């Protein structure tokens, strides 16, 4: 195919879709261009920035026809910052798009037949793989996305990269001359250039306050930030956690080296400026890597955990615990997972990828017994502590790979009625999917943060004898391109 455009060309095109990163998708004579900031249904004038064999990238110059779903982004640095992708889209439209994003992946990758999805609108007709025992196509119900009443200030954790710069993009009053100083914020879109800021509209206000205070202390004490190119400088990231119910705050300083100059002064100033702080922690990461945390974590002051509650269950959260960042939507997600498990009080449930036991403890309130497995040993320690904290005695946890531990449990006589999985973005390990098929639970509940790997894994389970019944998208991350889903599968 001859590419109809070249770099720096100006073109008018209709935006026909949107990628998972929130980029508009348009075509020029069949050639695809991705346009940041454009919405489906719009007609746009664009400048071609990059041309590849199958697709290219373009910059939005002018909207010839705007979508009725377009809104003014309330964040002053939204166009520069890479933290959000959808603030220019009305919230109701975001929820509709996220459902459709899930549907498109289920149809295209999972080869599933979705109820109400017309062929030619991104759907494919169900074939033998998507049929019931009588050969009839089985329709999967994908419910409307569960959204938030107030989709702002929802994040309980901030992980902010630090750098040195003039800080000219800081929101609010300037606090120093335009010279090199400690800055911190989010990375600019598609780069590791830090956009300095004092306010993020999707963060809990306490996180904003903590980050601003820590930056001020760093400037006061002359602390340098880590430089990715040279490997020099001390402060790499600042992480904060806040308990939505308890109000407790944790501050984590991730440093390029063990020694923190004026450490006692740091602690004193943090405690003075942040009344609810309960934990001040240092994590040491001296590797030349983009990975945030290093292997060594040590307590500088206070407790090594803070506490929070989800639906009446209390959790101890350490610096490196995986704990969902949106507590309001986490409750909606986990309640739906428990509903799909169909518990009556006698079932054996296996929770693969159990983390610190969040879903496990939700399940344990209505199950006979829950067995949680997680490869991260520290998370299993947290899970056991959380079970004890809530007086839950019908949950056991073991550290190890699920695809190794679960078959051993089977040999020991543990036969699950339900298996729940909540894997990372890469989806389930193929060996775990084989294990699920061998264990033959009557239900599988799959919690996913990535529609494409979800659809891939559902296809494997469908081919192995399961049927996808319902899918419930949940908007865990408003104003971003991410969507969480919980899925019910039953044995055919």
Catalogue all structural domains in the chain, each as residue range(s) with its CATH number. Answer: 10-65 (2.40.50.140), 128-148+325-491 (3.40.50.150), 157-310 (2.40.50.1070)
Amino acid 137: pLDDT: 62
Per residue in 160-174, pLDDT (tens digit) is: 999 998 754 433 334
CA 436 to mean position of chain CA atoms = 25
Could you report the per-residue pLDDT of 320-360, keeping only the tens digit for each? 988 999 999 999 999 999 999 999 999 999 999 999 999 99
pLDDT digits (tens, 9 = 90+) for 257-276: 999 999 999 999 999 999 99
Summarised one tens digit per residue, pLDDT across range 65-107 is 999 999 999 999 998 888 899 999 999 999 999 999 999 999 9
The DSSP result for 157-226, as a single string, is EEEEEEEEE--TT-SSS--S-SSSEEEEEEEBTTS--EEE-S--TTB-HHHHHHHHHHHHHHHHHTPPBP
pLDDT higher than 60, residue 125:
no
Task: Kindly tell me if the per-residue pLDDT of 128 is higher than 50.
Answer: no
**Exposure string (b/e) for 418-437, b if CB count within 10 Å is 16 or more?**
bbbbbbeeebbbeebbebbb
> CB neighbours of 287 closer than 8 A, spacing ≥ 6?
294
Cα distances (angstroms) measured from residue 123 to each of 104, 112, 483: 7, 9, 20
H or E element in which residue 270 lies: helix 263-273
Which helix H or strand E contains 331, and what residues bound it? helix 327-341
Instruction: Report d(CA 466, CA 163) in Å as an integer.
Output: 50
Residue 204 has pLDDT above 70, yes or no: yes
Give the global pTM.
0.90
Would you say 405 and 345 are in contact if contact means Cβ atoms under 8 Å apart? Answer: no
Q: Quick check: 470 and 488 in contact, CB under 8 A?
A: yes
> Tens of pLDDT along 391-439?
999 999 999 999 899 999 989 999 999 999 999 999 999 999 999 999 9
Q: What percent of the chain is predicted at pLDDT more than 70?
A: 93
Q: Residue 230: pLDDT above 60? A: yes
**DSSP-assigned beta bridge partners for residue 251:** 240, 280
Reported as type and span, the H/E element at residue 407 is helix 402-411
Distance CA 110, CA 102 (A): 11
Quick check: helix, strand or coil at residue 61? strand
Which residues are catalytic, by number? 449
* Position 248 pLDDT exceeds 60: yes
Residue (of 168, 191, 207) closest to 83 by Cα position: 191
């Amino acid at each position: 195919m001859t590419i109809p455009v070249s770099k720096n060309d100006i073109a008018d095109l209709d935006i026909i879709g949107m990628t998972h990163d929130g980029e508009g998708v348009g075509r020029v004579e069949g050639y695809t261009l991705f346009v940041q900031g454009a919405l489906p249904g719009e007609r746009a004038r664009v400048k071609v920035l990059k041309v590849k064999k199958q697709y290219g990238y373009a910059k939005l110059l002018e909207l010839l026809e705007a979508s009725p779903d377009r809104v003014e982004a309330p964040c002053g640095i939204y166009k520069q910052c890479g933290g959000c992708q959808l603030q220019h889209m009305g919230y109701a439209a975001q929820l509709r798009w996220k459902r459709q994003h899930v549907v498109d992946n289920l149809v295209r990758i999972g080869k599933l037949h979705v109820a109400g999805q017309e062929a030619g609108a991104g759907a494919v007709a169900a074939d033998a793989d998507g049929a019931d025992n009588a050969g009839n196509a089985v329709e999967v119900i994908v419910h409307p996305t569960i959204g938030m009443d107030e989709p702002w200030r929802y994040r309980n954790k901030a992980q902010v990269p630090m750098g040195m710069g003039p800080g000219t993009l800081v929101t609010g009053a300037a606090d120093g001359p335009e010279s090199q100083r400690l800055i911190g914020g989010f990375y600019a879109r598609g780069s590791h250039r830090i956009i300095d800021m004092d306010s993020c509209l999707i963060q809990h206000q306490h996180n904003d306050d903590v980050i601003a205070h820590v930056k001020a202390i760093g400037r006061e004490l002359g602390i340098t930030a880590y430089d990715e190119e040279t490997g020099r400088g001390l402060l790499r990231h600042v992480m904060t956690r806040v308990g939505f119910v308890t109000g407790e705050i944790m501050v984590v300083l991730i440093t390029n080296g063990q020694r923190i100059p004026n450490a006692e002064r740091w602690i004193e100033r943090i405690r003075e400026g942040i009344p609810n702080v309960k934990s001040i922690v240092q994590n040491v990461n001296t590797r030349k890597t983009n990975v945030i945390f290093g292997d060594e974590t040590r307590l500088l002051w206070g407790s090594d955990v803070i506490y929070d509650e989800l639906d009446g269950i209390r959790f101890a959260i350490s610096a490196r615990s995986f704990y969902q960042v949106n507590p309001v939507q986490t409750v909606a997600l986990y309640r739906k997972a428990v509903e799909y498990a169909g518990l009556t009080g006698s079932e054996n449930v296996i929770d693969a990828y159990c983390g610190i036991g969040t879903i496990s403890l939700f399940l344990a309130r209505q199950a006979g017994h829950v067995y949680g497995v997680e490869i991260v040993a520290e998370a299993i320690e947290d899970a056991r502590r959380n079970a004890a904290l809530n007086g839950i005695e019908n949950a056991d946890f073991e550290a190890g790979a699920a695809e190794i531990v679960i078959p051993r449990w089977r040999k020991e006589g543990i036969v699950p009625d339900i298996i729940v999985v909540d894997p990372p973005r890469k989806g389930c390990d193929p060996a775990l999917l084989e294990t699920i098929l061998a264990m033959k639970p009557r239900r599988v509940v799959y919690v996913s943060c990535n529609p494409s790997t979800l659809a891939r894994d559902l296809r494997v389970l469908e081919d192995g004898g399961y049927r996808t019944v319902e899918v419930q998208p949940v908007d865990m991350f408003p104003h971003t391109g991410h969507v969480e889903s919980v899925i019910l599968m039953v044995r055919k």
